[in-house]
Amino acid sequence: MSEPHADSRPVSVLTIAGSDSGGGAGIQADLKTFAAHGAHGLSAIAALTAQHTRGVTAVNVPPLEFLDAQIDACFDDFRIGAVKLGMLASSEVIDTVARALQRHRPAHIVVDPVMIATSGARLLAEDALDAVRTRLLPLATVITPNLPEAELLLGWKIDSLDAMSPAASALRALGAPAVLLKGGHLAGPGEVVDILSDADGEQRTAHPRLRLDAHGTGCTLASAVAANLARGLSLRAACAAAADYVHAALRGGYRPGRGDVVVLDHFAEMPGR
């Protein structure tokens, strides 16, 4: 018998998240990030947001059957190397996504537990926190919370760099095998430090703090990690490269709206830019 032909389809990366009508975060940021990493991007829209650089004005969640159909359609046709999860607004949405991922079993799942928008708007229903803990964290390759999101998941304050390490360990104790805890919300000048906690210990990445109010950094970081994992990088290499990518995109950021919020330039380091 002849050997079966190798799958010649390029590896794709799927985002299951919310759509940002302003183009700076969510699905839109995810797809730009995938493209910047040379990956074919797929999307299943779990929420529709009306938002711009000054805030979120409305949220609409599509029917769960339609969300399920989007996810199945992507897995039925594409070779998916990694999945990134973003805004999943309710426990029902989380359960639908979790069941779909258990059916399809992708190699890597990056969970960005989107709960609060840059503007401060709450993007997660109160009753969905437990669903994040019990349904999503055990499925993840890595979760990528910022400090306010980690505080919600843990129920206690994280107000210093010294507090980040035990917080990351506590999040792993909830069921996530690895945690990339982002330190951008800490006050003060100097560096932004992100801590990756996994079974091998800790890895820290640091970048000079940029004095700007940015939008879409969390979505972009998680998507970059997913794209790097799909390309075959180890988790530690994927996270370090993703942090470098976000810092470069922030340096090239711009203000497309009337608000002060900076949107990342996802192609800042592409040739010819």
Is residue 17 assigned to a domain? yes
User: For residue 128, is it within any domain?
Assistant: yes
Q: What is the pTM of this model?
A: 0.94
Residue 177 forms part of a structural domain: yes
Considering just the CA atoms, what is the radius of gyration of the chain in Å?
18
pLDDT by 10s per residue, the chain, length 273: 444 567 888 999 999 999 999 999 999 999 999 999 999 999 999 999 999 999 889 989 999 999 999 999 999 999 999 999 999 989 999 999 999 999 999 999 999 998 765 555 566 667 788 899 999 999 999 999 999 999 989 999 999 999 999 999 999 999 999 999 999 888 777 899 999 999 999 999 999 998 888 889 999 999 999 999 999 999 999 999 999 999 999 999 999 999 999 999 999 987 666
**CA–CA separation, 174 vs 150, rounded Å?**
11
Cα–Cα distances (Å) from 270 to 25, 36, 256, 273, in that order, read 20, 7, 20, 6
In a domain, 164, yes or no: yes
In a domain, 6, yes or no: no
Query: CB 272: neighbour CB atoms within 10 A?
Result: 4
| Residue 5 included in any domain | no
The gap between the terminal CA atoms of the chain, to the nearest Å, is 51
pLDDT of residue 5: 62
Domain contains 253: yes
Q: Is residue 190 in some structural domain?
A: yes
d(CA 168, CA 172): 6
Owning domain of residue 207: 11-263
Q: How many domains does the chain have?
A: 1
State the CATH number of the domain containing residue 141: 3.40.1190.20
Model pLDDT, residue 2:
45
